[in-house]
Structure 1
Amino acid sequence: MQKFAVIVAGGSGSRMGLSTPKQFIMLHDKPILMHTIDAFHNYNQQISIILVLPEQEKKRWQQLCDKFNFQVKHQVVSGGKNRTDSVKNGLYAIDAEEGLVAIHDGVRPLVSSEIIRNSYVEAALQGNAIASVPLKDSIRWHKGDENRAIDRSEYCLIQTPQTFRLSLIKEAYYSLSDEIKTDDASVLEARGAKINLIQGDYTNIKITTQEDLKVAEALWSSLPL
């Protein structure tokens, strides 16, 4: 079954306190986004990669590809006004109707080949596969002046990749009007589908702050050569 990856990279870097969009910030020897694309390419060079970028950042991306001699084949499409629209644009760029598509945050560069592989395998079997990890900390419900302890074992943190049979997620996204969803699983769930969680990894972090970047650098330095 043909495999695709839609990598969404629409960040601005505002939470970093930087003018450089976070996906272009350096991690080790090259921009974060290149590591993310490499993760999918290194797992399987036959994956068709679609990169979704803000229109105004496409030129900067090409300059970075030239500077770092980045030659992994990928298609670049323009993002929308929010993540939901950007994913739609990425899916519109896929001509096929059948296959498997992993939708992944451009600033999760430490995703492992094991997670990617498991996501495609489970999506082929179950229709979808959503990476997640159990909560580590105690949590409390809080609203206004009220709060109470709740059982953390009933909750989890959602990551990407979120991988789907292509026809299912295309239909789900195309049926949206102006709704904005926080993730792709929510889009499919709104169509009545059962969501299938798979094991993610605590190292599969999303880099959105300076603290995240420091953690990513530490994790990167600990990776086997």
Structure 2
Amino acid sequence: MQRYAIIVAGGSGKRMQSELPKQFLELAGKPILMHTLEAYYYEQTEIILVLPVKELTQWKSLCIQHNFDIPHRIVEGGTSRFRSVQNGLSAIENTTGLVAIHDGVRPLIKRSIISESYRIADEKGNAITAVAAKDSLREIGDWGNKAVDRSKFQIIQTPQTFRIELIKKAFETKEQDTFTDDASVLENSGERIHLIEGDYSNIKITTPEDLRIAESLLRPN
């Protein structure tokens, strides 16, 4: 079955305290985004990179600078993550197959998790990567706050992988504030969500601290 990967990279560098978009910051000698694409580069996976139009020239220059030749198709991003994923899905002409949707700034994703996400999505229709909450949690409301059972909660990551026909249909709806990720869009269409085990090292790099952690995780022991 044909496999696709939509890599969504539309972040800014504000929380990074950087003028450079965070996906272009260097991690172990090359831009974060290149590590992410490398993780998805293997047989029968077509990579679709979704970037803001203003960053296309810079990305192409970085590819030349770093001799980055992994095949990928570039699609212009939208005004929100929802719109960007829509654009990525629209670039897939096939109505059957599997598509993984992944954050461009999660460069430490393990290939074993990617493979498992495709396998479960093929079997059950979707596979959403998640890890158990490790810290104590409290629910906050106008009435105050209270402790909750953390064993009932999961922290959602990417990849979020789907049968193409299901996620394309789900994204035909209008964007809603309740859509916090791609799984919530699919859930809105009436589909049941299937979680798979992620990894705590699969961090989303959004702050300088995250970048230092990623550098440490990539450093040989």
Q: TM-score, normalised by structure 1?
A: 0.96
* Cα-to-partner distance string for 1:101-151 (whole Å, 9 max, x where unaligned): 000000000000110000000000000000000000111111246010000
The equivalent of 2:47 in structure 1 is 49
The equivalent of 1:24 in structure 2 is 24
Amino acid across the alignment from 1:100:
L
Instruction: Give ranges in structure 2 of 5+ residues lacking alignment.
Output: none
The equivalent of 2:161 in structure 1 is 163
* Cα-to-partner distance string for 1:139-183 (whole Å, 9 max, x where unaligned): 111124601000000001000000000000000002x12325210
- Is the aligned partner of 1:188 residue 2:183? no
The equivalent of 1:130 in structure 2 is 128
- 2:174 corresponds to which of 170, 173, 177: 177
The equivalent of 1:70 in structure 2 is 68
Whole-angstrom distance in 2 between the partners of 1:81 and 1:179: 14
Q: Does 176-185 or 14-23 show the bigger shift?
A: 176-185
Amino acid across the alignment from 1:179:
Q
The equivalent of 2:109 in structure 1 is 111
* Cα-to-partner distance string for 1:33-67 (whole Å, 9 max, x where unaligned): 000000010xx232000000000000000000000
* Cα-to-partner distance string for 1:14-35 (whole Å, 9 max, x where unaligned): 1111100000000002000000
Amino acid across the alignment from 1:109:
P
Percent identical pairs in the alignment equals 55
- SS state at 2:15 partner: helix
Amino acid across the alignment from 2:37:
I
Contact preservation (8 Å) 2:46, 2:72: yes
The equivalent of 1:39 in structure 2 is 39
Contact preservation (8 Å) 2:82, 2:175: no
- SS state at 1:16 partner: coil
Instruction: Give ranges in structure 1 of 5+ residues lacking alignment.
Output: none
* Cα-to-partner distance string for 1:73-102 (whole Å, 9 max, x where unaligned): 000010000000000000000111100000
**Structure 1 runs (4+) greater than 3 angstroms displaced:** none
Amino acid across the alignment from 1:40:
Y
Q: Does 109-118 or 145-154 show the bigger shift?
A: 145-154
